[in-house]
Amino acid sequence: MNSPFPTLYVDPDIVRSNIDRMVSKAEKAGVEFRPHFKTHQSKAIGKLFREFGVTGITVSSIKMAEYFLSDGWDDITIAFPANVLAHEYYNRITGKASLKTLVISEDVVQKLDRKLEHELGLYIEIDPAYGRSGVPVTELKRIRSLLKAIKNSDHCYPAGFYCHAGHTYKARSKDEVETISKEALQGLEAIQEHFPDLPICFGDTPSCSVLDEFGPVTQISPGNFVFYDWMQVQIGSCSPNEIAVYMECPVIEKFSDRNQVLIHGGAVHFSKDSVQVGDYLSYGEPMLKYLSEETYVKSLSQEHGIIQCSPDVFSKLNVGETIQIFPIHSCLTADLMREYHTKDGQVLDHMNGQQVGP
Amino acid sequence: MNSPFPTLYVDPDIVRSNIDRMVSKAEKAGVEFRPHFKTHQSKAIGKLFREFGVTGITVSSIKMAEYFLSDGWDDITIAFPANVLAHEYYNRITGKASLKTLVISEDVVQKLDRKLEHELGLYIEIDPAYGRSGVPVTELKRIRSLLKAIKNSDHCYPAGFYCHAGHTYKARSKDEVETISKEALQGLEAIQEHFPDLPICFGDTPSCSVLDEFGPVTQISPGNFVFYDWMQVQIGSCSPNEIAVYMECPVIEKFSDRNQVLIHGGAVHFSKDSVQVGDYLSYGEPMLKYLSEETYVKSLSQEHGIIQCSPDVFSKLNVGETIQIFPIHSCLTADLMREYHTKDGQVLDHMNGQQVGP
């Protein structure tokens, strides 16, 4: 029986296979695997990582750290720069777990240190020319001074360096990913030379999917690879059969004058993230027998989705049936859907589906 | 005390004033006011509409209809085409309330009618050249035939015509809104001539904000006007001081080499909706003393927001303080934030913050 509403499905076999591949890669490369849990935000999916011996994890918010701490994860990096307003929350977590977060400026180290009650690890965030956040990788003097401030603090200790090469998301082939990520690794070599005793953690899914060796890097923390999505296919990180999640949406109406179908499935289900594919912008990609270059989610409003179809796909779709669609950005789709279904009828948790603080 | 996390605030006085203005306009124009509740999705905000005598409402999903039904609203339009897979839900609601929804094809009327147990009102959805959904306004023959199918069904009755001129969102001035919406109204005149006994419901916020008279229209169902947002300012629907919601986000770090600040506030808080303002794409607009043409949310990732600042604004912002930001699209921001705070410490509900089915 098809659900009458947009539903997010996960295939645990593909999830396990994606985890297995990344665990093996980390082992072969001799780096610690500290996967990012911001994509799935699920205790049930987290348990699959435990099957592979994972103990240290990465999250993107304090709320998410508390969610996984409540399931027994006690070695957590919050891969977001320290928030001086949130000292009470850091104190709550550091009383129970080994917590690390990121830092960019001495000012924050000092402001935070005055309010901390327990030990907090600080990774210096390094910007590898991505331009979002972090100390530019070339500014060794500033990095040295920041490290000194961390060492001189009462409650903080240096956890190492954290580097997210988010500009790999602009790549559109494995070669392009490789070029960008190797440049980032090259920049990190100077960090390793000057601070050889400290770990270097490196994060993004495209780099970790495409590279086999990580040079100066000693830890990797990719997140999206657990599910992948249609954007990662475009980037060159994965193939469609490695995508572990899909949306199932009811076909509501057909518009034969324009080969379009209306589905129930909109911005509140998929998110408004999109990816340029050839000369169109895609908000989702119909899968299986509907996977076709001419068939894609053309637009989304709050609850409406419009699929532009090839004539062949259009003729196969029927009102009252459902269609399976790869999300563009699985992290945001999962964040909105707030639970996962499996084909055998299980429902897996998502942090947003629970009443958890803060 | 500032919250250490991204927080959505609502100003009930501005909400009341926005409702009051639209109620008065509807009264003067002699049209029934059936406001769309998809923007706020809140029983508490719904109660403010009750203060103004509103009894009939519009929602965008079956789930939302059930949410408001559970708070005593019993005259509800689901402004989304009928979903033949969801007959059990229609039956559940029509057992307790007067429910209307939209329809586009005879096929759906017939498929649905076989499964219905109670009376269901069907608005024929009219497409006023917007191109998303509906029977093109010019196709009178098809409309007549569909109307006949509704009248011939056992459980459905014609509720009238529903027309959403969503292409007003492409306007960038009051004049442009007026041109687009008057064209839409002109198209509806033929509908009125041929089917004079049936109501015509007309929906979008830009049209309802800018027009004072609605020609052949007998009902209006705008939604976003209750809060407005930065996109509506760009469209020409409202002024900044009519926006009733804002996000408050902690300032995490400052990057002096590029006049940018990092806030905690990302795609999981604001949504990825954006609006073109001059030559940049804005994901949010800092307000109050930071309202400036050169200052805007330049990019969002999952939890990160980067604000591009004028030199003056940059110098005024401090790490450890918060900044207030108008969302681009208040419907999607509220949908993600799942609760509203008021300056006097109340917390108002949002449907997504509750455990409600389906």
Residues of B in contact with A322 (CB under 8 A): 85
* CA A120, chain centre distance (Å): 24
For residue B354, pLDDT over 90 is answered with: no
pTM for this predicted structure: 0.96
Closest CA to B242 of B225, B256, B255: B225
Name the residue in chain B with its Cα closest to that of A90: B4
Are A104 and B5 in contact (CB < 8 Å)? Answer: no
Are A5 and B62 in contact (CB < 8 Å)? Answer: yes
**Residue B28 C-alpha, separation from nearest chain A C-alpha, in angstroms:** 30
Residues of B in contact with A302 (CB under 8 A): 38, 60, 331-332, 335
Closest CA to A253 of B257, B135, B166: B135
Q: Which of B108, B131, B271 sits opposite A319 (nearest CB)?
A: B108
Q: Which of B3, B254, B268 sits opposite A332 (nearest CB)?
A: B268
Q: Residues A324-350: what's their mean pLDDT?
A: 97
Are B319 and A108 in contact (CB < 8 Å)? Answer: yes
Rounded to the nearest integer, the mean pLDDT of chain A is: 96
Residue A358: the pLDDT is 32
Q: What pLDDT digit, counting tens, does each position of B23-49 carry?
A: 999 999 999 999 999 999 999 999 999
Phi, psi of B19 (to 5 degrees): -65, -45
Rounded to the nearest integer, the mean pLDDT of chain B is: 96
Residues of A in contact with B267 (CB under 8 A): 271, 273, 332
Q: Residues A165-192: what's their mean pLDDT?
A: 95
For residue A356, pLDDT over 50 is answered with: no
Name the residue in chain A with its Cα closest to that of B39: A302
Residue B203: the pLDDT is 86
**Residue B109 C-alpha, separation from nearest chain A C-alpha, in angstroms:** 12
Residues of A in contact with B131 (CB under 8 A): 258
Contact assessment for residue B112 and residue B156, using Cβ atoms and an 8 Å cutoff: yes
Q: Which two tokens stand for residue A10?
A: 């996960």
Closest CA to A191 of A161, A149, A146, A157: A161
Q: Which of B81, B250, B262 sits opposite A85 (nearest CB)?
A: B250
Q: Which of A4, A262, A320 sits opposite B111 (nearest CB)?
A: A320
Q: Which residues pair with B253 in a beta bridge?
A: B262
Residues of A in contact with B262 (CB under 8 A): 81, 132-133
Name the residue in chain B with its Cα closest to that of A338: B352
Q: Where are the beta strands (DSSP E) in A16-70?
A: 32-33, 57-59
Contact assessment for residue A252 and residue A319, using Cβ atoms and an 8 Å cutoff: yes
Q: Residues B255-268: what's their mean pLDDT?
A: 97
Residue with tokens 């500033």: A142
Contacts of A166 (CB under 8 A, 6+ apart): A130, A132, A204, B301
Phi-psi region of A345 (alpha: psi -120 to 50; beta: other; left: phi over 0): left
Q: Which residues pair with A9 in a beta bridge?
A: A246, A341
Residues of B in contact with A60 (CB under 8 A): 302-303
Contacts of B99 (CB under 8 A, 6+ apart): B65, B76, B77, B78, B90, B93, B120, B121
Q: What pLDDT digit, counting tens, does each position of A126-164 carry?
A: 999 888 999 999 999 999 999 999 999 999 999 999 999
In 10 A of CB A74, how many CB atoms? Answer: 14
Are A4 and B319 in contact (CB < 8 Å)? Answer: no
For residue A355, pLDDT over 60 is answered with: no
Confidence of residue B325 (pLDDT cuts 50, 70, 90): very high
Residues of B in contact with A264 (CB under 8 A): 61, 80, 83
Name the residue in chain B with its Cα closest to that of A85: B4
Residue B358: the pLDDT is 32
Closest CA to B22 of B14, B33, B12: B33
Q: Which of A262, A267, A299 sits opposite B271 (nearest CB)?
A: A267
Q: Hey, is A262 helix, strand or coil?
A: strand
- What percent of chain B stands above pLDDT 70? 98
Q: What pLDDT digit, counting tens, does each position of B127-149 carry?
A: 998 889 999 999 999 999 999 99
Q: Which of B63, B319, B352 sits opposite A84 (nearest CB)?
A: B319
Give the DSSP H/E element, type plus range, for residue A267: helix A267-270
**Residue A109 C-alpha, separation from nearest chain B C-alpha, in angstroms:** 12
Name the residue in chain B with its Cα closest to that of A261: B133
- Could you give the CA distance from residue A181 to residue B184 in angstroms, rounded to a whole number? 52
Could you give all domains of chain A from N- to C-terminal order, each with its CATH number? 12-235 (3.20.20.10), 240-353 (2.40.37.20)
- Label each residue of chain B as H, E or C: CCCCCCEEEECHHHHHHHHHHHHHHHHHHCCEECCECCCCCCHHHHHHHHCCCCCCEEECCHHHHHHHHCCCCCEEEEEEECCHHHHHHHHHHHCCCEEEEEECCHHHHHHHHCCCCCCEEEEEEEECCCCCCCEECCCHHHHHHHHHHHHHCCCEEEEEEEECCHHHHHCCCHHHHHHHHHHHHHHHHHHHHHCCCCCEEECCHHHHHHCCCCCCCCEECCCHHHCCCHHHHHHCCCCHHHCCEEEEEEEEEEECCCCEEEEECCHHHHCCCCEEECCEEECCEECHHHCCCCCEEEEECCCEEEEECCHHHHHHCCCCCEEEEECCCHHHHHHHHCEEECCCCCEEECHHHCCCCC
What does the DSSP 8-state code read for residue A88?
H
Q: What pLDDT digit, counting tens, does each position of A45-62 carry?
A: 999 999 999 999 999 999
Are B319 and A111 in contact (CB < 8 Å)? Answer: yes
What does the DSSP 8-state code read for residue A36?
B
Counting one residue from chain A and one from chain B, the pairs whose CB atoms sit within 8 A come to 144
CA distance to A112, A144, B263, B289, B320, per residue, from B323 (Å): 20, 31, 8, 10, 10
Q: Which two tokens stand for residue A24?
A: 């093996």
**Residue A261 C-alpha, separation from nearest chain B C-alpha, in angstroms:** 9
Are B132 and A306 in contact (CB < 8 Å)? Answer: yes
Q: Which of B250, B306, B335 sits opposite A268 (nearest CB)?
A: B335
| Bridge-based pairing state of the strands B275-277 and B280-282 | antiparallel
Contacts of B345 (CB under 8 A, 6+ apart): none
Are A166 and B301 in contact (CB < 8 Å)? Answer: yes
Go through chain A and tell me how many residues it has: 358
Residues of A in contact with B301 (CB under 8 A): 132, 166
* CA B174, chain centre distance (Å): 19
Q: Residues A234-255: what's their mean pLDDT?
A: 97
- Could you give the CA distance from residue B50 to residue B15 in angstroms, rounded to a whole number? 13
Are B273 and A267 in contact (CB < 8 Å)? Answer: yes
Residue A354: the pLDDT is 61
Residue B293: the pLDDT is 81
Contact assessment for residue A66 and residue A93, using Cβ atoms and an 8 Å cutoff: yes
Burial of residue B111 (number of CB atoms within 10 Å: 0-12, 13-18, 19+): middle
In 10 A of CB B68, how many CB atoms? Answer: 20
Best residue of A137, A319, A338, A341 to probe chain B, by most B CBs closer than 10 Å = A319
Name the residue in chain B with its Cα closest to that of A334: B268
Name the residue in chain A with its Cα closest to that of B106: A253
Contacts of B296 (CB under 8 A, 6+ apart): B277, B280, B282, B283, B284, B285, B286, B307, B308
Confidence of residue B1 (pLDDT cuts 50, 70, 90): low
For residue B357, pLDDT over 60 is answered with: no
Confidence of residue A1 (pLDDT cuts 50, 70, 90): low
- Could you give the CA distance from residue A235 to residue A178 in angstroms, rounded to a whole number? 11
Phi-psi region of B297 (alpha: psi -120 to 50; beta: other; left: phi over 0): beta
Are B272 and A273 in contact (CB < 8 Å)? Answer: yes
Contacts of B239 (CB under 8 A, 6+ apart): B233
Contact assessment for residue A90 and residue A65, using Cβ atoms and an 8 Å cutoff: no
Name the residue in chain B with its Cα closest to that of A251: B83
Q: Which two tokens stand for residue A102?
A: 């990121």
**Residue A42 C-alpha, separation from nearest chain B C-alpha, in angstroms:** 16
Residue with tokens 């988010």: A166
- Could you give the CA distance from residue A41 to residue A43 in angstroms, rounded to a whole number? 7
What is the ipTM, given to two decimal places?
Answer: 0.96
For residue B116, pLDDT over 80 is answered with: yes
Q: Residues A87-99: what's their mean pLDDT?
A: 97
In 10 A of CB A27, how many CB atoms? Answer: 12
Q: Which of B85-94, B257-266, B289-298 has the lowest mean pLDDT?
A: B289-298
Are B85 and A111 in contact (CB < 8 Å)? Answer: no
